[in-house]
Amino acid sequence: MRSDLMKKGLERAPHRSLLKAIGYTNEEISRPLIGVGHAHNEIIPGHVHLDRILEAVKTGIRMAGGTPISFGTIGVCDGIAMNHQGMKYSLASREIIADSVEIMAQAHPFDAMVLIPNCDKVTPGMLMAMLRVNIPALMVSGGPMLTGRFKGKDVHLVSVFEGVGQVKAKTMSEEDLNELEDAACPGCGSCAGMFTANSMNCLAEAIGLALPGNGTIPAVAAARIRLAKEAGMAVMNLLEQNIQPRDIATAAAFENAMAVDMALGCSTNTVLHVPALAKEAEVELPLTRFNEVSRKTPHVCSLIPGGPHSLQQLDEAGGVPAVMKELLATEDGLNLGVMTATGKTLEDNLAKAEVRDREIIRPVNAPYHKEGGIAILYGNLAPDGGVVKQSAVAPEMLVHSGPARVYNSEEEAQKAILGNQIKSGDVIVIRYCGPRGGPGMPEMLSPTSAVIGLGLGGSVALITDGRFSGGTQGACIGHVSPEAADGGPIALVHEGDTISVDIPNRSITLEVAEDELSKRRAAWQPPAPKITTGYVARYAKQVTSGSTGAVLKD
């Protein structure tokens, strides 16, 4: 066993003595030692209940003959960090989370691992570490939050963000917003809707690194506790069969995950995280592959925020296995022979899957949209690509041309939006918000929600080298690469320039002559770093483009 490095033989007597100081018996030390990494804390609603998930996982490991050893990692609540200095630390935390799990697993050579994340950067960070360390492992998330109820309608966190714009537009009273604030987030779990956390928890299941049900079973359900126990038992089976994460996360498995991504209408942040996972798995995954998969995969689920249905409803309809079963009817189908965390192939896992509600999961020949939820746009404004959740764009905004309203920070843009300075037809440009320029590629949920709240979602586009929350809807194009801080074309846009967006044809164009752009490029000067000390200052020097998953340089 790998853990023999720290526990077996005469020379390991001091090591065993330290383990016994914790209270472990000789019997426990002799068993396989299973690291259980978790992100329980008391600031993130998606993580506040992970102590219960942790205990359930540990129970499952003991039931199957292992000794669980828990350790913690950090986490950032994107909602609480939104629209202030804290958001510069969110994406950057992904690398710290990955590194911390790697450190724990290598310094203390566990035989296998179960990882327990739930929110935006924690799930991909833990998955990156799992693939990097590559010992038998799987993850089990804390599950999605239930939707709230307000005046007879389902509501969620983004409803509150949009409520701020509605108050400014005088279509909602402050008293109603206060009541909505109390109702929108009714309890623990990752924010209700196909936002980034739930997107990644579903895709972990689709890749095969989590058990069926991981992405959709509600956080408060007893089934979530049972799933955690099953995860503890499943990792012992993976250890016995010596099935490692890279045996599961193959190129074929990533193809399956991208198809599920498109069918569900997942967050645009998956275009950052999935390539980062592929890099750790040593799988080639160019950005163009997302367009190829999107073109041939129908969007069969209309989930919050782009549609009316919740994660709980998706779970009741059969969850991710039912979506995958439906995708078997597409022209290319799925790769059924891939191995999964169950210790069985995807074909085995899907044998009993069924769609229980044809409104929640539509047939592939009668989808909500013929193409997948995400599109990658290219053009002289984004030579290396920009990302849009096309399934959440109003039909009238799929093709749009308008004057640029240029802002060099999210704060400037938010002030202009809430100050009623944006008019119908405008194209808001928010730049110097990329991985280096932000730094940390901050999300833009506040300005995008304000645009929706003001009733401009059907007439205004927003373009940024930053990124969007999974809760964003509307004609919002993010990850524009190269970013402004690297001298990308988005840095050369002037107030009033015409920008044309054609999502069906995957194009984004700055309607300015090349000779004029050359003059602007010659006059451009890089801005001073916004943060010069600490972790994110170091991160800004090491991070790569959003088009490559914003991974750190080798």
Q: Could you identify the residue written with the tokens 């990792």? A: 235
Per the annotation, the verdict on 469 as an active-site residue is yes
Tell me the C-alpha distance between 499 and 429, whole Å. Answer: 10
Q: Please tell me which residue in 469, 481, 545, 547 is annotated as part of the active site.
A: 469
- Residues contacting residue 130 through CB under 8 Å, at least 6 positions apart: 101, 113, 115, 137, 138, 139, 209, 245
Torsion of CA 379, 402, 392, 215, to 10 degrees: 50
Helix (H, G, I), strand (E, B) or coil at 116: strand
- Name the token pair of 445: 């949920």
Per residue, the 3-state secondary structure of 451-472, as one string, reads: HHHCCCCCCCEEEECCECCCCC
- The rounded distance, in Å, linking the Cα atoms of 248 and 501 is 38
User: Residue 399's Cα: distance from chain center in Å?
Assistant: 27
In which element (H, E) is residue 319 found?
helix 319-327
For the beta carbon of residue 222, count every other beta carbon within 10 angstroms.
9
Question: Could you tell me the two tokens for 281?
Answer: 């798995």
- Residue 195 token pair: 């936002």
User: Does residue 144 have a cis bond before it (omega within 30 degrees)?
Assistant: no
Cα dist from 65 to 38, 69, 309, whole Å? 21, 13, 41
Contact 228, 36 (CB under 8 A): no
Half-sphere CA count of 369, side-chain side, radius 13 A: 28
Output the six-digit token pair for 267.
């967050």
The residue written with tokens 């995008």 in the block is 448
Contact between 230 and 342 (Cβ < 8 Å) = no
What angle, 0 to 180 degrees and rounded to 10, lies between the N-to-C axes of helices 122-133 and 90-107?
30
For residue 32, give the DSSP letter: P
Euclidean distance between CA atoms 7 and 10, whole angstroms:
9
Q: Which one, of 156, 123, 202, lies nearest residue 449 by Cα? A: 156
Decide if 193 contacts 146 (C-beta within 8 A): no
Single-letter code of the amino acid located at 485: A
Report the C-alpha gap between 148 and 137 in whole angstroms: 34
CA 169 to the chain's CA centroid = 31
Q: How far apart are CA 446 and CA 187, in angstroms?
A: 22
Residues noted as catalytic: 469
